[in-house]
Amino acid sequence: MWFKNILLGISILFSALGCSGQKVDSKPTITIWHWMTDRDATFQDLAKKYETLTGVKVNFELYAPSDAYSQKIRAAAQGINLPDVFGILGEKRDFASFIKAGHILDLTSYMEANNNGWKNSFFPKALAVNEFAAGNSYGINPGTYGVPVDIMTIQMVYNKKLFTQLGLNPSRPPKTLQEFLDIGPKIQAAGMQGLVSGWGEVWMIDCLANDYAFNIMGKDKVMATIRGQVPYTDPDWVKVFSIFKQMQDSGVLAKGLVTMINKSAEQLFANEKAVFAFNGSWCVNVYKGMNPNLEYGAILPPQASDKYPMSIWGGAGSSFMVNARSKNKEEAIKFLVWLTGQDQQAYLSRATNNLPANKNCLAKIPEVLAQFARGMEYATHPNVWGVSEFSLVIEAFDRGIQSIIIGEKTPEQVADEVQKVKERELNKRRAK
Amino acid sequence: MMNSFYYKGKKIVVNTLIHLFLISVAITCLYPLLWMIVSSLKTQDMIFKDISLIPHQFRLENYVLAWKEGGFGGNFFNSIIYTVSVVFGIVIISSMAAYAFSRLRFAGSKFLFIMFMAAMMIPIPGSFVALYVLLNKLHLRNTPIGYILCMINVGLSTSIFLLKTFFDKMPKELEDAARIDGCSKIGIWWHVALPLAKPVLAVVIVFNALAVWNEYILALIIFDNRKFMPLQVALQSFQGEFVTNYPLLMAGLTITALPIILVYLFMQKYIIKGVTQGAVVG
């Protein structure tokens, strides 16, 4: 008897839990899945505003952390349960596979309507991440498949208060490498920390080194190097490696920089213990949380050469895609057009301290965010280069720079070693 | 006399070393908990500026904020329902299955048992997409019942293994006596096997309760509706891509950890008995 009762109890419990009634609503409702915890409250505010304006309800549904979100999106794609709007985290090939499977709507015609009105409102480099060019290697029809919601750039920041303490003009940060190096001895004399960054996570070294490579030899020569047409032993590359030695010798780099994780670097800069930091635009939000009174400015890395413009890594931070199978796709596009409009973008930027994807709203956001956003003019990213370096070469390159900073190797030695790895990888590829 | 001093001295030295070792292990276990509680009482900027273990100001409102902003009310209830249902389901099914594998002779029993053991080798995240598609086809996706069934399935293999190991060692004479008294197979399982397996069941309950209580990835994948999400999903809302709201996260973690610590304390004596009886060894 007891056993039957247990089974009956379980059945009742399961039946009760299994019931999920569906409400019938005459108004269209757009469902958006995202992973951006820090933007969720602002998205909800904007959704309410949009509902007041149009009567269209927008449900922003947060699924964090990003790893779990990615799994959910993949699972939902398999089950054809994707929402009206969603974002894809991952590489361009993942993006392409979703398009090929028919999950993502081609937005080109919407972008180009009204004399490219929507398209022209974005930073072109932010849109580039969501575009597929003619003859792309993924076999995707050329067009725009995503809407950037915000952007990201990686630049340098400097502490204005510490600048004043060093006898420097806080409204005139260093523009050239020499000016930057000249600050090193002053930092040493004052017993402060110089440049901090997450160079323990080596990709950030790679980022700054590539910035200088573009500045010293130009994009074409960097691309030729990746294609194997120019060796890393070329004098221009040795110059790039030498910059790190010069920085170390001048004392402008913080102690322990090569093993520093970005969270520690952010903490040092936010607590006014470091004069400079090399960080992504997300740092504005991080610093605000750690020290709301921090006074700082964002600058491009001081340029080492006049020959080519300084370059930084940047592009779309987060993008939304429209479900090609959604019955609400037209309404979803209308909402995305509204969301990426000037006022909404400025509101989103002010509330979340992220950079707006709309290039026309910089006057409406805090100066430090505008400084970061203006950097988009100089932005590039390996994802849009069309060629990619061997991972072993990148590793040898980044580890080599670490060795230069700790005085273990000379720039010439590192250039030789990187070139050897490059030749080995090229030979392997030729042998295939 | 010398020998007595030698042995006493040796005992003191050995005991001191053992205690120093145990104290250091205890500190490494307790320090993160202490840091969690202390950080839950600080402000965001104080966490990064003030590393002391006694905050200058106790911000108890972090707990209220965490509860409200994380939407803990409904999620807390969901987690309790999921944990109780899953653990109950696992205890009933795994104890019956383990008893059957241990005592009943039927065709394919060894093969079935090996299949259950093989399931232990499959990493859970590897089966998420498959589970999602299966639940979708059964129209159980985005329903608590779907999640409960998945979690019961996840916990079965290890629990069956633990219980079968115990039942294999159980004297058969006890069952014979029960049979003479007129007990059916189910009666023996209920009146003899289960009461004797209390220490192992305690291990099964705590291990599975911990697993369900701390699970969030499967819940996040299966549920679209926030009202069905467990407590751990609510915690994720304090953790951003680049910025983490540490005071609220730590307050949330403290709230989340309390029930499971209570379960452990409540069942501590059974767990120790279960472990020392070899319940968790092959």
Q: For residue B34, count CB atoms less than 10 angstroms from its CB and return exposed for 0-12, middle for 13-18, buried for 19 or more.
A: exposed
CB contact under 8 A, A20 and B225: yes
Confidence of residue B69 (pLDDT cuts 50, 70, 90): confident
Dist. CA A417–CA A232, nearest whole Å: 9
Interchain CB distance below 8 Å, B221 and A291: no
Work out the minimum CA distance from B239 to partner chain A, whole angstroms. Answer: 7
In angstroms, what CA-CA distances link A27 with A31, A44, A328, B83, B224? 13, 18, 11, 37, 20
Q: What is the pLDDT of residue A90?
A: 80
Set of chain B residues whose Cβ sits within 8 Å of the Cβ of A62: 237
Residue A12: what pLDDT? Answer: 55
Give the A-side interface with B, CB within 8 Å.
2-3, 6, 10, 13-14, 17-20, 35-38, 40, 61-69, 71-72, 74-76, 78-79, 81, 83, 267, 270-271, 280, 282-283, 285-286, 289-292
CA–CA–CA angle A252, A254, A259 (5° rounding): 135
pTM for this predicted structure? 0.79
- The Cα angle at residue A364 between residues A197 and A63, in degrees rounded to 5: 60
CA dihedral A424, A425, A430, A432 (to 10 degrees): 120
Give percent of chain B with pLDDT exceeding 70.
96
Residue B73: predicted pLDDT:
82
Q: Beta strand pairing status for A85-86 and A131-132? A: unpaired
Task: Please report the pLDDT score of residue A217 as a whole number.
Answer: 97
b/e burial code for range B128-141 (CB count within 10 A of at least 16 → b) = bbebbbbbbeeebb
Give the pLDDT confidence score for residue A27 in this predicted structure: 75
Do residue B141 and residue A81 have CB atoms under 8 angstroms apart? yes
Average pLDDT value for residue range B13-35: 93
- Cβ of A20 within 8 Å of Cβ of B245? The answer is no
Q: How far apart are CA A305 and CA A240, in angstroms?
A: 11
CA atoms of A427 and A234, how far apart (whole Å): 19
Distance between CA atoms of residues A369 and A367, nearest Å: 5
Taking 50 as the pLDDT cut, the residues of chain A under it are 1-3, 7, 17-24
Cβ-defined contact of A37 to B238 (cutoff 8 Å): yes
The answer to whether residue B275 scores a pLDDT higher than 80 is no
Distance CA A369, CA A155 (A): 12
CB atoms within 10 A of CB B78: 22
Structure confidence by residue, pLDDT tens digits, B174-185: 888 888 888 888
Residue A131 phi, psi (nearest 5): -105, 150
For the ranges A107-111, A265-269, B229-233, B241-245, the lowest mean pLDDT is seen at B241-245
Cβ contact B144–A18 (<8 Å): yes
The residues in B 163-222 lying below 8 A from A, measured between CB atoms, are: 186, 190, 216-217, 220-221
Q: What pLDDT, on a 0 to 100 scale, did the predictor assign at position A140?
A: 93
Say how many Å lie between the first and final Cα of chain A, rounded.
Answer: 71
Beta bridge partners of A86: A321
Closest partner CB to B45 (pick from A20, A76, A290): A290
As its CATH architecture, domain B71-276 has: Orthogonal Bundle (1.10)
Handedness of CA B162, B168, B172, B178 (dihedral sign): positive
Tell if the CB–CB gap between B242 and A71 is shorter than 8 Å.
Answer: no
| Model pLDDT, residue B105 | 87
Distance, in Å, from the CA atom of A123 to the CA atom of A347, rounded to the nearest integer, reads 17
Burial A47-56 (b: 16+ CB within 10 A, else e): beebeeeeeb
* Span B254-270, pLDDT tens digits: 999 888 888 888 888 77
Distance from CA of B203 to the nearest CA of A (A): 22
Per-residue confidence (pLDDT) for residue A255, from 0 to 100: 92
CA distance to A67, B229, B236, per residue, from B80 (Å): 25, 11, 18
CB contact (8 A) between residue A17 and residue B81: yes
Strand partners, A276: A158, A195
Q: Could you give the 3-state DSSP secondary structure of residue A231?
A: coil
Reported as type and span, the H/E element at residue A134 is none
pLDDT of residue A256: 92
**Complete domains list, chain A, with CATH:** 28-151+315-377 (3.40.190.10), 153-314+386-431 (3.40.190.10)
- Nearest to B175, CA basis, from B160, B199, B195: B195
For residues A415, A300, A118, A282, the Cα torsion angle rounded to the nearest 10 degrees is 90
- Does B3 reach chain A within 8 Å, measured CB to CB? no
pLDDT at residue number A9: 56
Instruction: Indicate yes or no: CB of A64 within 8 angstroms of CB of B236.
Output: yes
Instruction: Answer whether A6 sits within 8 Å of B92, measured CB to CB.
Output: yes
Neighbours of B104 (CB within 10 A): 9
Q: What is the pLDDT of residue A399?
A: 94
Answer yes or no: are the C-beta atoms of B60 and B41 closer than 8 Å: yes
Distance CA A33, CA A66 (A): 11
Torsion of CA B110, B115, B116, B121, to 10 degrees: 130
**pLDDT tier, B274 (very low <50, low <70, confident <90, very high otherwise):** low
CA dist list (Å): A356 to A24, A264, A293, A365: 36, 27, 23, 9
CA pair distance A277, B201, nearest whole angstrom: 55
Q: Which residue of B has its CA nearest to A292?
A: B45
ipTM above 0.95, yes or no: no
Choose, out of A10, A63, A262, A271, the residue to mutate when testing the contact with B (most B CBs < 10 Å): A63
Instruction: Give me the pLDDT at residue B174, please.
Output: 86
Residue among A18, A270, A280 whose CB faces B143 most closely? A18
Angle in degrees, 0-180, between the axes of helices A342-352 and A40-54, rounded to the nearest 10: 150
B276 pLDDT band (50/70/90 cuts)?
low
Note the pLDDT of residue B282: 36
Q: Does B123 touch chain A (CB under 8 A)?
A: no
CB-CB neighbours of A306 under 10 Å = 8
